[in-house]
Amino acid sequence: MLNDILHAFGTIADPMCLSMLVFGVIFGTVIGALPGLGTAVAITICIPFTLKMGSGPAIALLLGVYASSIYGGSISAVLLNTPGTPQSACTGMEGYPMARAGKAREALGWVTMSSVMGGLISCAVLVVAAPSLAALSVKYGGPLEICALICMGLACITSLSEGSHVKGILMGVAGLFLATIGNDPQTGEMRFTFGSQNLISGIDLMPVVVGVFPLAELFFRVYESFAQKAPKAIQCSGMKLPSWSDWKVKGRITNLLRSSLMGCGLGILPGTGATAATFIAYSSAKRISPNGKNFGKGEPDGLIAAESSTNAVSGGALVPTLAMGIPGEPVMALMLATLTLHGITPGVRLMADNPDIVYATFILLIMANLSLIPAAWFCIRGFGKIIAFPTAILLGLIVICSLIGVYLPRGNMFDVWMTLAIGVVAFFMRITSFPVAPLLIGYVLSNQLEYRMSQVCIYLGGGSLLDYTLDHPVAIALFVVAIILLVLPFFRKDSSDWECRTDIDVM
């Protein structure tokens, strides 16, 4: 273990790795602060350029972007009352009133320190929980058990599907079938190529990732821009970090710890995400805080709860992603895709096969959270200029960078056209309320599921599938959990619909 940790420090000490971390933190903060873009777009822009890097610098870049883009959305929430990311909505409810009252520097100070502390607490949980969970997974990590784990990840699609769960399942199935196009890795037969030479090797991961997230998002932003008015920012040239005496106010440290643990715990549960964690922690703080009556008027306790829980999700979501290969939230599907592109398979064998990568991830996430403070100074001072940058030029640059990143790995124009086609389809899926994240999750998990199923067939030989399954009680338990995860959201929806009808009847 000590050798693995030392090797991880050796990986991080590479100047390329450190420079990518710094760039990722600054880039993520800027993109997160721009309303409507968010974490997924920021990460996807960077993914194509990681293909020419080693695994260390690539992970450093993406972790820097991931941690900082979540925080960056809070800057626009405080100064514009327009959250840069959905999870920053509660921050705007408290930060914007403070900014309007002439306390923008204080609001940004609370936001920054709460984000950093929440992120560090989640890192501590990640360091403790991920190796333990991975060790348990290795002990019970046969092909059938891994199939069951992947099915759990696919079942979480219903939790990631806002609105219609059926649409989410359909998009997940579409992702599974999209990954089957091309050469069958087991038999060598061609599948769904329709005679096209370009489809023999299948649809590459990059066109799917870039088409589903940044292109579809940008098309949607253009679609929405015709009905929106440009926001005006409150001027602020810095921030004032809270002093120790500010933290000693009754209940604030307890609020920080409680909200951070809430965010981390909800991040571990696949499908909850930072937005749900933020609202749950914020509402809990409002009930418990001695200053609860001031919530919504610019109360620091509200900022502490919202920001610490939001950033704590980052460490929590990495626990199932690294230990079991199950994305804790849609953005984690992008992290899974990146690790896969670099030949690293997250899941039960990651800690055993690549322990240095795991420990490097822990250390880099801690460094990314600590780097938020200098990145915040940089972004806040230039926020007025950033928000004034012409939207059309910004969107055009993002499209160009994304398409260049898709073309570079294989030098194939077919990938560019495929990206544009997937982006257009994903855009129409979005405006018709089909969630696009399940498509990517299904695509990423498809190859591993197919490979493990072929292993099960080999182990099975000519025996009975039922007898083989009954000999693996852990797999049976995981399949049962997968079924529960698949159907539970439907029961919740039916329950909420029944409650709404009951309320209407009473009225």
For the stretch 202-226, pLDDT in tens is 887 778 877 876 677 778 777 766 6
| Cα gap 354→348, rounded to integer Å | 11
Question: Tokens 């009754």 sit at which residue?
Answer: 250
- Under 8 Å between Cβ of 223 and 269: no
- Any idea of the CA torsion for 332, 337, 339, 343, to the nearest 10 degrees? 160
Output the 3-class SS for 152-187. HHHHHHHCCCCCCHHHHHHHHHHHHHHCCCEECCCC
User: In the structure encoding, which two tokens stand for residue 57, read together?
Assistant: 């610098």
pLDDT for the residue numbered 348: 63
Q: What pLDDT score was predicted for residue 230?
A: 52
Distance, in Å, from the CA atom of 223 to the CA atom of 479, rounded to the nearest integer, reads 41
Dist. CA 5–CA 225, nearest whole Å: 48
Place of tokens 């981390």: 264
Residues of the chain predicted below pLDDT 50: 496, 498-507
| Closest alpha carbon to 274 in 11, 66, 432 | 66
Question: Which backbone phi and psi does 160 adopt, to 5 degrees?
Answer: -85, 0
CA 106-111-116 angle, to 5 degrees, is 130
Q: Of the candidates 274, 332, 295, 292, which has an alpha carbon nearest to the alpha carbon of residue 130?
A: 332
Number of other CB atoms surrounding residue 25 within 10 Å: 32
- Tell me how far apart the alpha carbons of residues 341 and 209 are, in angstroms, rounded to a whole number: 12
- A 10 A CB-CB count for 263 gives 36
Burial 370-384 (b: 16+ CB within 10 A, else e): ebbeebbeebbeebe
pLDDT in tens, 349-403: 676 677 777 788 888 888 888 888 888 887 777 766 665 566 667 677 777 777 8
pLDDT at 498 (0 to 100): 43
pLDDT at 388: 59
Please, are residues 107 and 244 in contact by the beta-carbon 8 Å criterion?
A: no
Q: How far is CA 309 from CA 15, 38, 330, 476, in A?
A: 32, 17, 17, 34
| DSSP β-bridge partners for residue 182 | 191
Residue 230, token pair as written in the block: 């440009």
Question: What CA–CA distances, in Å, run from 491 to 429, 478, 479, 494, 506?
Answer: 25, 20, 19, 5, 22
How many Å apart are CA 63 and CA 66, to the nearest integer? Answer: 5
Amino acid at 148: A
Can you tell me whether residue 264 is helix, strand or coil?
helix
DSSP string, 360-419: HHHHHHHHHHHTHHHHHHHHHHTHHHHHTS-HHHHHHHHHHHHHHHHHHHHT-HHHHHHH
HEC readout, 301-358: HHHHHHHHHHHHHHHHHHHHHHHHCCCCCHHHHHHHHHHHHCCCCCCCCHHHHCHHHH
Averaged pLDDT score across all residues of the chain: 77
402/48 Cα distance (integer angstroms): 8
User: How far, in Å, CA of 420 to CA of 407, rounded?
Assistant: 12
Phi-psi region of 289 (alpha: psi -120 to 50; beta: other; left: phi over 0): beta
Name residues whose C-beta falls within 8 Å of residue 138's C-beta, 6 or more positions apart in sequence. 348, 349, 351, 352
Rg (the chain; Cα; Å): 23
Whether 298 and 98 have beta carbons less than 8 Å apart is answered as: yes
pLDDT at residue 386, as a whole number? 63
Q: Tell me what pLDDT residue 494 has.
A: 52
Q: What three-state secondary structure class fits 34?
A: coil
Task: Please give the backbone phi and psi of residue 190, each rounded to the nearest 5 degrees, phi first.
Answer: -85, 135
- Classify residue 505 by burial, with Cβ atoms within 10 Å: 0-12, 13-18, 19+: exposed
**DSSP letters spanning 110-161:** HHHHHHHHHHHHHHHHHHHHHHHHHHHHHHT--HHHHHHHHHHHHHGGGTT-
Reference 44, options 479, 303, 341, 414; nearest CA is 341
SS3 assignment, position 280: helix
